[in-house]
Structure 1
Amino acid sequence: MTTQSEPGHGRPDPSLSAIMSERRQLINLAYRLLGSVAEAEDVVQETYTRWYAMSRQQQEAIESPGGWLTTVASRICLDLLGSARARRERYVGEWIPEPLPDRTEWINGRSAGTTADPADRVTLDESVTMAFLVVLESMTPAERVAFILHEVFRYSFAEVAEIVGRTPAACRQLASSARRRIRAAQAPAAPAARQAGLVRDFKQAWEAKDIDALVGLLDPGATMIADGGGLVSAVLRPIEGGEQIARYMLDIAGRAPNLTILERTVNGQPGLVAQHNGVTVTVAAFDVAGDRIKHIWAVRNPDKLRPWTVGPQH
């Protein structure tokens, strides 16, 4: 199997640096498959544990260490996606993928408190927008793995088949089905400047408690979903309708008068971060269709906000 970054350039004696150079791609793959930085890091750690559990002779017999690592990580993710469905059914309220800061704002939230290594950062592109990740959540595990490996990481269907344990033709069908889901769910993206302007206007209207301005910025059929994970207060079901969302936002503003609202990049797109006494309590991602906000995803679960715990205050 080939990868975009073949470690060791085909040499049979992979050095530590060559093996570890695959870490960034593995983190990128696992985050897109699982929607969680913490779970992605666990997957990559388990993948390396399995590599180093082999003898040197076994390692040297592997023609493409990068391909081996990707295969193992993908299969671990496939297993996790299967069990995730049961976990999500027990989850309190709505489950939203873990939001990612822009790399200039990234602070690694692991308990060790160490500064994030550049290899830990997830590359931000259209395949990590919140809207995209939410559609991925609606796919079967096999669809999701086949689609991400083929469409995002450019693996051939023969290579995907080897990873997911199906025929190349079946993998082609899985990816095709996944593509249809993406097309059906996603409106054409608004220009970045337009998105940023709408999110900024939303912030200002929210701070001013201007319900008419909020309603005007929201699509009449807009949806807002919040994720508190049962750990903090959050609405347990989606809020439907622009006016209902506007009223809910004003209710929050009234109950939490000391919130500081900051414009931030969330999963590569304009978003908002709410801080209380310097601590991030909500990260909001937006989906814009035309000149209106169509979806808002508000992540409040503190376990998902660790990378946002400390950040620049500009």
Structure 2
Amino acid sequence: MNRPSGGSWLHRSARGAVSGSAGHGRAVGELAAAARAGDAAGVAQLLRPGVVLTVDGGGVVAAPDAAVEGVTPVASFLVDLLTQPRAAVRVESVNGVPGIVVCRDGRVVGVLSVRVRGRRILEAWLVANPDKLTRWTC
């Protein structure tokens, strides 16, 4: 398994090896599809009330100072991230379960991991710190 330096919790499993519950995989796939389409309402429907998104920019890239909380703010943030110009979004194994890898201009700019409860996303973590993404490829 590839682990980014610095003891990060974020790692890529063997390519193609994606596990987790069917509900988890479905939620991630639907999130990727809705985000690619710029469908903020579709993204919002996949989020549980009280959803929390934590972003790790490492002080290197712009990131919110605190966790983003609530369906509308989280949906807006995710749609903005996943529909940036020249962004490519794909579902890949992140820590052994489906997650989303965001590439732009041939490099990984973010890896999104989520926790799902009952087909809806309860928590999300976005690693955008380039120091923690060095072993990820597009």
TMscore range, shorter length: 0.7 to 0.9
Match of 1:99 among 7, 10, 17: 10
Structure 1 residues not aligned, in runs of 5+ = 1-27, 29-35, 41-96, 106-124, 126-190
CA 103–252 in structure 1, closer or farther in 2 if over 3 Å, else same: closer
Aligned length: 135
* Structure 2 length-normalised TM: 0.88
- Whether 2:1 is the aligned partner of 1:38: answer no
CA contact (8 A) 1:98 1:305 kept: no
CA RMSD, 1 decimal: 2.1
Q: Secondary structure at the match of 1:200?
A: helix
Separation of aligned partners in 2, 1:228 and 1:290? 29
Separation of aligned partners in 1, 2:123 and 2:100? 13
Tell which has more relative contact order, 1 or 2 (C-alpha 8 A, sep 6+): 2
Q: Secondary structure at the match of 1:249?
A: helix
Separation of aligned partners in 2, 1:277 and 1:292? 31
* Structure 1 length-normalised TM: 0.40
Structure 2 residues not aligned, in runs of 5+ = none
Decide which structure has greater helix share: 1
Q: Secondary structure at the match of 2:135?
A: helix
The CA deviation at 1:37 is 4.6
Separation of aligned partners in 1, 2:6 and 2:53? 25
Decide which structure has greater strand share: 2
The corresponding residue for 1:229 is 58
Separation of aligned partners in 2, 1:211 and 1:104? 29
CA contact (8 A) 1:286 1:295 kept: yes
> What does the per-residue CA deviation read over 1:170-197, in whole Å, with 9 as the maximum and x for residues that have no partner?
xxxxxxxxxxxxxxxxxxxxx6221111
Match of 2:114 among 263, 268, 286: 286
- Whether 2:133 is the aligned partner of 1:305: answer yes
Separation of aligned partners in 2, 1:238 and 1:213? 22
The corresponding residue for 2:90 is 262
CA 194–230 in structure 1, closer or farther in 2 if over 3 Å, else same: same
The corresponding residue for 1:19 is none
CA contact (8 A) 1:271 1:286 kept: yes
Q: Which has the larger radius of gyration?
A: 1
